[in-house]
Structure 1
Amino acid sequence: MRWFILVVFTIALAGQSGAQEGAINRDSLAVLLAEVPVDTLVAKLGDSLFSPTEGKARILRDAYGIPHIYGRTDEDVAFGFGYAQAEDHLLQMLKNFRQARGRLAEVEGASALKLDEMALRWRIHSVAGERYGDISEETRQYIAAFVEGINHYIEIHRQVLPQWVQGVRAVDVVALARWILFLFAEQTGEAELAQVGLTTAVPKLPGSNLWVAGPSRSDSGAPVLAMDVQLPYTTPFQFCEAHLVSNAGLNVMGATFFGLPVIFVGHNGHIAWSITTNDIDVFDLYEERLDPINPRRYFYGDEKRRVVSRRVKIHSEEGMREVEREFLYTDHGPVYKTIGNWAYAARTSVADRVDAMGQLLAMNRAVSLGAFQQALSHLELPVFNVIYGDVMGEIFYVFNGRCPVRSEDFDWRAPVPGWMPETEWRGMIAFSQLPQVHNPTSGSLQNCNVSPDVVAIDSGLKRDDFPSFLGWGTPNYRAQRIVNWLLTHQNIAVGDMQVLLRDDYLVDAEEYKGLIYRAYNRVWPVLFDPNWEVGRAVQILRAWDNRASLESVGTLLFSIWKARFDSSFAQVPQKRDIFVREKVALEALQQAVAYMTATYGRLDVPWGQVHYLKRGDRIFPMSGAPSGTEALHQTLTRIEADGTMLIEGGSAFGMVVSLVQPVQSWSALAYGNSEDPESPHYDDQADLQHRNTFKKTVFTTGDLQSVLTDLTTVPYDPEEAEHQSLRALWYKQLQTGAIAPDSTNTGPESSRDD
C-alpha cells in the first residue's frame, strides 16, 4: 500500500503540463486522499465507537469542533489530547513552550525578549528539568503520553510546518505550567515592586467571576455553578476546551491553557470547580545591603554572602541576532534591580514547584469533596480562590494558595530587609489553615476577586483570625452585584446563571454619575458651555440605564470620562475632599466631551459601533464593560487611533454547570477551539459572545453521536501516517494555489480515520 501511495503521488506531481506545469494533479490526489464520511466510519465501528483498542485514542469532535477523547487508559487519552491540541493550535502551543523556556524571541523577535529574560532569570525550564524526578511515575507517564501525541502530529506534518518547529519534551509541559503559575504568583507582589519602580512581567491581569447556588437556592435542588475565567487573549493565556474519557474512570470536561494535558477548570460526572485570582501573598521582595567595597557580596546577619552571577545568551529572530544578559542572585532569589549599594531580590513560593500537573490530574479525577480537598492540599497551585460544587449537594470555598509563614513584625507588601534573619520564611501555611467555607446556611458562595469574608453573608471568616502576612483583599462592585442578586433570588435556574455571566450593568456608574451630577449642578449657571455640550453629556448620562449593551449611548461617554477621571484623581493628594473630587469630575467630563466631539463628531455613539472583538477579518460588536469600569461582563480593551475599542481580553471561558445527574453544562470560549483561519471553528464561538449566549456541551455518548462531525483514531500505523502526511502536503498545496479548488469533500462532515 505504501509503495502504491508513493507511486501515485509521484505520477500526480509529474502529470501536469502547460500553464499548470509542476502543479499537483488534483484529480488523482482527490481520489487518493478523499476523506471517508463520518457516518460510514460510525457504522463500521459500531459498538466500539467509544472503545478504541488499547494503545489507541479516538478523537470525536462535536458541532463546535470540541474534541471528546476516548481511550482505554488515561495515558491513551493523554496521547489523543496531545494530538488534538496539535491539530487545533500547534504553533501557538509551541510558542507557549518556547516562552517558558526563554526562547520565544527566536521566533517572535525582539518583542518577546522581556518575557524570555524573565523565564530565564527564574530558571523556569531548568528547575523543571532538575526536579522532574520528584513528580510521581504515574503523572510522568501521563505527561509523556501527551507529549508523544503532540510529536506524532509534528512528525506526520513535518513537511508543511515552519522550520522553527521542534519536537516537544515532557519537561516542556512541566515548565509551561510553572511559567503560567509564576506569572499569576508575581502579580501578588505588584505593591512592593511598584515601590522600587518595577512592574510585573505581564500587566495586571483582569478579574474573573465565580459563584455557586446550592441545593436550597436552585430550581433543580442541585447546585448550579457559574464560572467566567477572564484573561488576556495572548500567549500564554489562551484557553481551549476538551472532554477526556478513559475506561480507568477519567471523565472530565472543561478548559485549559494551550499545552497543558489536564483540565484547569470545568466538571466531571460528580463535581465542578473553577478559580479566580486572589490576594494571597506569595511573592516577596528583599532589600539586600551590598558591600560597598565588593558589590558582588551582600550582608546577612554578621556575615557577608556572595552574589551569584549567571550569564545567558538569548537568540532573537531565528538566530540572526544574539543578546547576552547577566542575572544576579542572592540566597533569597533573582535580583530584579540594583540601586547604588542596594539590590532587590525576589522570592516566590512557586519557584521550586514542579507538580501542578499531578495535582490538577487528581482534581480532574476527584469524585467527592474529600478527594478534591486532598488534591488541593498539595498546594501546587500557588494562588487562586477555588469554588466547588458536587452532585451530592456540597458547596465549598477556599482562599487557596501556597503562602509562606513569616514574621508578623514586617510589612510584607513592601520590600523587607534581606540582611535580617528574622525575614526568612518558616515553612508554608497548611491547607487546613487557609480560609474556607463549607455549605453556608445562606446557600450560595461567590468570589469575584474579593476578600474571603464576603464569599457568603454568613461566611464566619474574620480578617483578625488569620495571619497579617496571608493577604486578604477587598470587596468590589462585581461582588456587590452578584451578592445582592443571590440573596434576593430563589429557584435559580441555569438560564439565570447564563444571563448573569453576561450581565453588563456597570455598578460603579451608580456612584460616579452622582458625583458628576453634583459637580455639574454646583457650577452650571456659571459654566462656560456655549454649545451646551457638557449639559448634553449630563443629559445622556441621566438617561442612561448603566448598561453596556450594544445599543447603549451612555457607555462610551462614561468610559472615556472614567479613564480621564482616574488618571487625574490619582495625582490629587486631597482625595477625601469632596469639592476636589467634584472639580476633578467636572474637568474630566469637559475633557471627555472635547475628545468625543473631535473623534466621533457626536456624544451619543452606540456602544456596539465602537466596542468589538476581531478574529481574522471578521468583526463582532460586543457588549460588556471596557477596561477601567466594572460589570460582571467586562472586557480588556485597547483604544485604537480612530477611537474604536479593540477587545484584547476578557471572558476566556465561561461555563454554567448544573450538578444534576447526569451533570449538564453550557459553555463558550473567546473565539473558537481552532487557531486555523480556514477552520469553521476559528471564530464560531466569538459569535456566541456577540449574542451573549452559550452552547450546550456534549457530555454523554448518546448526545455526542448525534452531533458528531469528525472522527480520528491515533496513533496512526506507519502506512496510515504516511497517508496523512501526503494529505497534509496536498492541503498545503491547495492553500498556496498549487492546486485549484474543486468539489473534493474537505468539509467538517468527514473523517481522517480511513
Structure 2
Amino acid sequence: MRKWVARGGFALLGLVLLAAIGLATWEPFFAEPGRAPATEQTYSAEIVRSEFGVPHIYGKTDADVAYGVAIAQSEDDFFTLQDVLAMARGRYGAIAGEDGAAVDFVYHLLDARGTAQRHYGNLPADTRALFEAYATGLNQYASEHPGEIKLARLFPVTGEDVAAGFALRQPFFFGLNGVIEPLVKGEPLRPEFGPPIPSSAPAAAPSADVDGEAVPRTTASRALPLHMGEDGAMAGSNAFAIAPEKSGDGVTRLVSNSHQPLRGGVAWYELVVESGEGWHFAGANFPGSPFPFLGHNRDLGWTNTVNRPDLVDVYQLTLDESGTRYRLDGEWRDLETRTVTLPVKVGPLVLPIRRTVHRSVHGPVIINDRGAFAIRYGGMDSVAQLDAYYRLNKARDLAEWRTILARMAIPSTNFIYADKAGNIAMFYNAAIPDRQQGPDWRSVLPGDRTDLIWQDMVDFDRIPQLVNPASGWIFNANNAPFSAAGPGSDLSPGDFAPELGIETKTTNRARRAAKLMAETPVIDRANLERIKYDTGYERTGYVAQMLDEVAALDLKAEPDLARAQALLATWDMTADSKGAADALALLMIKDFMSAEYQNKTWPDAREKLAAAAEHLTTHFGRLDPPMSDLLRLRQGTVDLPLDGGSDTLRASTTWDVHDDGRLALRHGDSFLMFVEWAPGARVRSQSIQPYGAAITRPGSPHFADQTPLFVRHELKPVHFWRADALANAIRRKTVTNR
C-alpha cells in the first residue's frame, strides 16, 4: 500500500512538473510564428554617433536609412523595442504579466492586426519599402544578439507587424483608454466622455465567454499603459512658434517641448536622417517607427501637443435573449464574436487566459453588467498615418505640408508649424466624425439606429487653424485652440459647431504662456527661453480652489497640521525651489490638477495637506525642505535636483516615490528642441533629453550624459548638417544586411 501511495505521489508530482513545464513553455509555440519581410532587398546605411551618442543615419535611399534607424535604435533601446513589437503581436502579457495582457486584450478588441492586414498593402510602395527595411534591421539585430531576446519567436517581424503597432497605439493619444477602461470595469464613464451610464441600464444577456464571464475582469480591467502620461493625454506638452517680425532679430523660431514618459514605448528617441532621395530630417520618434514624428527638415518644422477632441462615440446595443444578436433598424444582426488567448506571465509561468471579444457594425463592443456598448472613434480601421508622417518629413513648404495634413490621416494632436519663409501656424488636427446635428453626441447613443453611425470625417477646413496671426506668435499647452495667439488674433469658439466636440478646458501652462507672451513686446531667444522654463502658477482655476479650501480649514485642534496650512499660505506660486513652501505645494497640487483635467473626484483638502505634511516630516524631518531635495532626476547612479511642477511650463508632471521619500521624475519635459531660421542662413537647431541616447544601456556612456545639461536648462547642438555631424563624431560605422 505504501509503495502504491508513493508511486501515486511520484506520479502526481510528475504531472505537476509536466504542467509547470507546459505553462512555462507553451506560449512561444502557441503564438503565430513571425515572418521575415518578403523581399531580397539589400540595404546599407552609415551610422554616425555625435558626442552625445545621437545617431545620424545616412543612406543612398530612404529605405536604406530606415534600415539604419532600426539598427541604431536597437543598439540603444532593444529592450523597449521588444515590448512594442510584443504589443504589435498581441503577446505583451508574456513579458509584462497582467498589465501586458490588458494591452493584448485591447489589441484584439480594436482588431489592430486586422486593420494592418486590410490596409497595409494599399499604402504607397515607397512607404511600405520604408517599413520593410525597418523590419529587416530589427530582425538583423535580433539575429546578431540572441542573448538580448526576451520572448521566443518574437522575431522575425514584417512591416505589417510594425503597422499593427501604430493601429494599436494611436487611439490612446486622444484618450480612448478613458472610454475602454470604465466600460471594461463596468464603471460609469467619466464626464468628458458623456454622462455616466445609468445604473438602471438594462442588463445584457450573458456573454458567450468560455469561462462564463461577461467581462474580462482579471486582465483587461487593469490600467492600460498606452496613454501619454499617468493621467492620460492631458498630462501635457508645450509648443511655441515666433514669427521673424516678433523675434527682434528677424529669426523664425520653433520650440518643441513635448511632455512624455521618460522611459518606455512612448518615450522620445532622438535621431537625424538623411538620404540621397531628399529625406533630411532631425527630430525624434517613438520605439517602433522608421521616421521621426516631429522636428525639422531644411525648410520647415513642426511639433505636436496632444489635443482632446471628442473623437469617440459610445452606443448602447440591445441584445436578444441569446446575447449573440443585436437590434439595428428593427432587425436582428449577428454579433461578431471570437475567443482569444491572452498570455499572462506570473513568475516563471505564463498562464493562458481565454477571453471573448465582440464587434458590431459600429465598432468594438464591450459587454458588462450594465449592458452592451459599442465604440466608434475617429481614425478607426486605418493605417494611413504611416504614409502621412513620411510625406510630412519630406514636405518643402507650407502649401505642400498643409495638403498632406489635410488628408486627416493622423487622427489627433495639434500641430504647431514654422518655416524658413517666416510662416508660423497652428492646426487643431483631428479626425473629427462628421456627425449630424441634433443628437447629444456627448451621451451614450442608442445603438439600434444606422443614421447615428457616422461614416466620414469633417472637412479639414472646418477644424480650427491659424496661420500667420497679427501677434507674431503662437503657442499651445494642451489647451483649447481658442487661446493661441493673443487678443485680436485668437479664433472665436462661436465659429465652430458644437458637434465637432472641441475641448474647452485650459491649463495653468496655457494661462502662463498666454500671459507671458502677450506682455513681452519682443520675444527674442532669451525671452523665449525665459517663458519656456517658467515655473509659475496663476492663482485661478483649480489652483485657487485648492489654496482657498486649505485656507478655510479649521485646524485649531491640530497644531501640526495648522503649521502646514500656514506655510502653504506663504507660497510664492512658483516651483523654482526657492520658496519655503515649494515642496509642500508640489506634493499637493498634482491630484487637484488631475481632478480638474480628468474629471476625477475632487480631492479632500485636509487629507491632501495631511499626507503632504506627513511625507515631508517623515523623510526630511521638516515641512520646508528645498524642493530640489524632494524632486530628483534619477538614472542609474545619477541623482540630480530638479525644478518645475505639475502643470508648469517647466514641466515635472508625475513621478515615482522612492524609498527615501524623493520623487523621481517619470513624466514631464522630455525631448526639447529649439529650431531657428535666420535670414539668409541655413537652419540651426539645439536639443536636449532628460537622460541620454542609450536609455536602457547602463554600460553606455550615453545612458545619462545629458542629465547635467537638462537640469541646468542647457541645450546641445543637433548637428543637422553632415559636415557638422562628421566634425563632432565619436563613432562611425556602416551596416548592411548582405
Q: TM-score scaled to structure 1, two decimals? A: 0.80
Give, in whole Å, the separation in 1 of the partners of 2:138 and 2:298.
27
8 Å contact kept, 1:282–1:348: yes
8 Å contact kept, 1:385–1:397: yes
Residues 1:90 and 1:591: Cα distance change in structure 2 (over 3 Å): closer
Task: Tell me by how many angstroms 1:107 deviates.
Answer: 2.2
Residues 1:517 and 1:325: Cα distance change in structure 2 (over 3 Å): closer
2:329 is aligned with 1:307: no
8 Å contact kept, 2:543–2:592: no
In the alignment, what sits opposite 1:339? Answer: 369
8 Å contact kept, 1:262–1:357: no
Instruction: Pick one of 266, 272, 276 that aligns with 1:247.
Output: 276
In the alignment, what sits opposite 2:86? Answer: 98
The one-letter code matched in structure 2 to 1:114 is A
2:700 is aligned with 1:672: no
8 Å contact kept, 1:516–1:586: no
The one-letter code matched in structure 2 to 1:455 is A
Gaps of 5+ in 1: 1-53, 576-580, 718-754
2:153 is aligned with 1:168: no
The one-letter code matched in structure 2 to 1:352 is D
In the alignment, what sits opposite 1:468? Answer: 498
Instruction: Pick one of 106, 122, 125 that aligns with 2:110.
Output: 122
8 Å contact kept, 1:506–1:631: no
In the alignment, what sits opposite 2:360? Answer: 330
In the alignment, what sits opposite 2:664? Answer: 646
Instruction: Pick one of 570, 583, 586 that aligns with 1:559.
Output: 586
Task: Tell me by how many angstroms 1:168 deviates.
Answer: 2.1
The 3-state SS of whatever aligns with 2:396 is coil
Q: How does 1:478-517 map to 2 (within 5 A)?
A: 478-508=509-539, 512=543, 516=547
Q: How many correspondences in the alignment?
A: 648
Deviations 1:131-153 (A, max 9, x none): 21111111111211222222222
Task: Tell me by how many angstroms 1:256 deviates.
Answer: 0.5
Deviations 1:433-469 (A, max 9, x none): 2111110101111111111211122345222322212
Task: Tell me by how many angstroms 1:305 deviates.
Answer: 1.5
8 Å contact kept, 2:238–2:477: yes
2:636 is aligned with 1:635: no
The one-letter code matched in structure 1 to 2:307 is N
The one-letter code matched in structure 2 to 1:66 is V
Give, in whole Å, the separation in 1 of the partners of 2:626 and 2:295.
35
8 Å contact kept, 2:654–2:666: yes
2:286 is aligned with 1:286: no
In the alignment, what sits opposite 1:477? Answer: 508
Give, in whole Å, the separation in 1 of the partners of 2:596 and 2:280.
51
Q: TM-score scaled to structure 2, two decimals? A: 0.82
Give, in whole Å, the separation in 1 of the partners of 2:143 and 2:165.
22
8 Å contact kept, 2:88–2:162: no
Residues 1:145 and 1:565: Cα distance change in structure 2 (over 3 Å): closer
8 Å contact kept, 1:498–1:693: no
Give, in whole Å, the separation in 1 of the partners of 2:64 and 2:593.
53
In the alignment, what sits opposite 2:382? Answer: 353
Task: Tell me by how many angstroms 1:425 deviates.
Answer: 0.3
In the alignment, what sits opposite 1:729? Answer: none
Give, in whole Å, the separation in 2 of the partners of 1:120 and 1:633.
35
In the alignment, what sits opposite 1:30? Answer: none
In the alignment, what sits opposite 1:228? Answer: 257
In the alignment, what sits opposite 2:237? Answer: 208
In the alignment, what sits opposite 1:65? Answer: 53
Give, in whole Å, the separation in 1 of the partners of 2:49 and 2:298.
19
The one-letter code matched in structure 2 to 1:338 is N
Larger Cα Rg: Structure 1 or Structure 2?
1
8 Å contact kept, 1:240–1:258: yes
Give, in whole Å, the separation in 1 of the partners of 2:298 and 2:435.
40
Residues 1:346 and 1:605: Cα distance change in structure 2 (over 3 Å): same
Deviations 1:406-437 (A, max 9, x none): 12222222211111233110411121221111
Task: Tell me by how many angstroms 1:597 deviates.
Answer: 3.5
In the alignment, what sits opposite 1:4? Answer: none
8 Å contact kept, 1:453–1:459: no
Deviates more, 1:346-355 or 1:590-599: 590-599
The 3-state SS of whatever aligns with 2:244 is coil
Residues 1:513 and 1:424: Cα distance change in structure 2 (over 3 Å): closer
In the alignment, what sits opposite 2:642? Answer: 622
2:172 is aligned with 1:183: yes
Gaps of 5+ in 2: 1-41, 180-189, 200-220, 226-230
The one-letter code matched in structure 2 to 1:496 is N
8 Å contact kept, 2:595–2:601: no
Residues 1:499 and 1:97: Cα distance change in structure 2 (over 3 Å): farther
Instruction: Pick one of 466, 474, 480 that aligns with 1:445.
Output: 474
Give, in whole Å, the separation in 1 of the partners of 2:93 and 2:454.
35
The 3-state SS of whatever aligns with 1:262 is coil
8 Å contact kept, 1:383–1:401: yes
The one-letter code matched in structure 2 to 1:633 is A
Give, in whole Å, the separation in 1 of the partners of 2:47 and 2:58.
7
Give, in whole Å, the separation in 2 of the partners of 1:476 and 1:236.
26
2:350 is aligned with 1:320: yes
The one-letter code matched in structure 2 to 1:290 is L
Give, in whole Å, the separation in 1 of the partners of 2:622 and 2:540.
21
Deviations 1:230-271 (A, max 9, x none): 122344212101101112211100000011011101001110
